[in-house]
C-alpha cells in the first residue's frame, strides 16, 4: 500500500515574493513593442504592477520563484536592464505602504489573496 504524501502548507519563510524591476528602452517602435511584450509576459505569468517598472508576484518557494525568472529571461529585450529580487513573505509583511486618496488597489488585499491561493 502506497503512503500518502503529506502536503506541506507554505510558511512565511518559505513563501517568496519576486520583485521584477526593469528599465527598458522605448525610443523606437520596435523597442516599444519589445517592452510591451515583456510587461505582458509578466502579467500573463501572474505578476501585479507595483509601480510602472516594478512588478511583484508571490510564489510558494524560492525554487518556484527562480523557475519563473528563468522562463522570463527568454523574453527580456536585448537592450533592457532587468533585476529580480527575492524576498520572503515574512520580510515583505514588514513593508509600509502609503496609498494616496485616488489609489484603487490595496496591496494588503493582494498579498492576502495570493497567500490564500497558495494554500490550495
Residue 35, in any domain of the structure = yes
78: pLDDT strictly greater than 70: yes
Number of domains in the chain: 1
Q: pTM of this prediction?
A: 0.75
Lay out the sheet containing 54-59: strands in order across.
48-51, 54-59, 16-23, 81-88
Asked if the structure places residue 2 within a domain, the reply is no
pLDDT of residue 56: 96
* 11 falls within a domain: no
In which domain, by residue range, is 33 found?
A: 16-90+105-118
> Would residue 6 count as lying in a domain?
no
Q: What is the CATH number of the domain that holds 35?
A: 3.30.70.240
Q: How much is the CA Rg of the chain, to the nearest whole Å?
A: 17
Average pLDDT over residues 84-111: 78
What pLDDT is recorded for position 98?
81
- 84 part of a folded domain: yes
Amino acid at each position: 500500500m502506497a503512503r500518502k504524501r503529506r502536503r506541506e502548507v507554505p510558511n512565511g519563510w518559505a513563501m517568496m515574493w519576486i520583485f521584477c524591476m526593469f528599465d527598458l528602452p522605448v525610443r523606437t517602435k520596435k523597442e516599444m513593442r519589445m517592452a510591451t511584450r515583456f510587461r505582458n509576459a509578466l502579467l500573463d505569468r501572474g505578476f501585479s504592477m507595483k509601480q510602472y517598472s516594478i512588478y511583484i508576484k508571490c510564489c510558494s518557494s524560492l525554487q518556484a520563484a527562480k523557475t519563473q525568472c528563468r522562463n522570463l529571461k527568454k523574453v527580456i529585450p536585448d537592450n533592457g536592464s532587468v533585476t529580480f529580487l527575492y524576498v520572503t513573505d515574512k520580510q515583505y509583511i514588514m513593508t509600509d505602504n502609503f496609498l494616496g486618496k485616488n489609489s484603487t488597489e490595496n496591496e494588503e488585499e493582494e498579498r492576502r489573496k495570493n497567500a490564500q491561493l497558495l494554500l490550495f
